[in-house]
Every structure is written in structure tokens, then in C-alpha cells.
Amino acid sequence: MSDGASYEHLFRLDGRTALVVGAGSGIGAAAAVGLAAFGASVVCADADEAAAAATADRIGDRATARRLDLLDAASIAAAAADLGAPDILVTTPAVNVRKRIVDYTDDDLDRVVDLNMKGTFRLCRTFGRTMAAAGRGSMIGFSSIRAQTTEPGQGAYAATKAATVMLFKTLAAELGPHGVRANTIAPGVVETPLTAPIKADAAWYGAYADKSILGRWAQPSEMVGAVVYLASDASSFVTGTTIFVDGGWTAADGRFVPPT
């Protein structure tokens, strides 16, 4: 960008293509709708193609849907062959098995690592090639507050979310010379299908709400601003970093308010 840039268009995405993986629900669906609202043409991708199609239908003419399963290397390769190099890549899928480390089975570990880490790695490896060859693009991954702060039962999930941060930092280092930026977003507690079991437990839900400075959970729509920022020219000099959208969860202890 030049100093003479037209700032009113800083966040516009007209003429750009976005691939949103995990667009069938939650944060991925909100990201797809949000990117389209700022002018992007969006490919809504999900392991559940019907759910991806429902999101695409919400968007309208600027959206298409396809199956893309991070556990299926062939579906990733097929998407890259069909789509080439998107201007924007957003990936959100993750799974959690809440058990203490000493109770984890190898199957539990494989389930979390295969999707959260290996699937994300495969996706970024494949589209990193196409985007680098095109000489442009913004790659946006979803980490979590659990990359920085943890609790019992979060061992494997937290490890994969910390790994996601380092994966995208390395993508930034390797692909930056080719014109590709890579960043992560770290949400706090967000009301999504992944967190539905917590919402069903009133005490657990309330404890998480009380932990953040803002005293509540986030909605998926509240992640859209960070996605659009990282996708747009507003962040043209931002790469290799993590934006925390966590209501202040990682900024303050939150357990006790001492007398002052």
C-alpha cells in the first residue's frame, strides 16, 4: 500500500476470493458470511457438504459450496486443483477430547492431533504452495486462548492450539518472501457446536463467563472483525502474529477482585 491509499476502502475485499474451511457452522460460517459482506467471493468448504451449502445459500450469488475434509488428504488436493490460489484462506475446524493426560488413550490423542494439527498442516502445505506461486494471499488460522493458558482436561487440545500458532509463524517466515501473509486468531470462549456441552452445564458456563473481563461468552459473529482485518489491506504489514479475541480472558486473572 502507498501513503496515498484510499482509506475508506481499506477493509474492502472486492475482487478477491476466499476459501473458508469449516464454513458449515460456528466461527467458520460467520467468517464466510462476513468476508462476503465486505465483497469477497467465498468458497464455503466443510466436511459436511450440506452444512457448507446452507452457509453458501445464506450468502447468495457470491458463494459456492464444496466438501473439504481435513482428515482426507485427497479432498484437500482436489480443492487445490479446482480452486488454485485463493486470495484468502481461513481454517477453523478443531476437536477436543476433555480428559486428563494420564487418562488419555492413543485413540483420543490421534483424534485431536489428526484434525487440529495434521489436518491444518496438510491444508496449509497444499494451499501454501499455490498461494506462494501466485505471489499473494492471506492465510488465517484459528488458535485459542488455550495456546497460552490451560486447565485440567485440555492437554492435547492446548498443545495443538499452541502448535497452530507456531505453524503459522513458520508459514509467515517461509512464505512472506513470496507475498503471502500468515496469522492466527485466538478466541476466548465462543458459543459454537464445539462448546455446546459446556453451555449445557449452567455452573460451568457461568464460570467461563465470569473469567473474562467482559463477563460473558462471545458469539461467532464477534470473530468476524479480526478475520476481515487480517484478510484485508488494513493488515498489509501484519504477519506472523496472533490476535486474541477473548474478552480479556488472558489479560487478567479474573479469579478474585482484591479490595482497593
**Active site amino acids:** 157
CB 116 within 8 A of CB 158: no
Phi-psi region of 177 (alpha: psi -120 to 50; beta: other; left: phi over 0): alpha
Beta bridge partners of 89: 19, 139
* R_g of the chain computed on alpha carbons: 18
Instruction: Cell numbers for 190, please give them.
Output: 465462543
CA pair distance 239, 221, nearest whole angstrom:
23
| 191 CB-side CA count, 13 A | 12
Residue 72: how many other CB atoms lie within 10 Å: 14
CB 141 within 8 A of CB 182: yes
CA pair distance 45, 63, nearest whole angstrom:
10
Provide CB contacts within 8 A for 81, sequence distance 6+.
none
CA pair distance 136, 121, nearest whole angstrom:
19
CB 57 within 8 A of CB 250: no
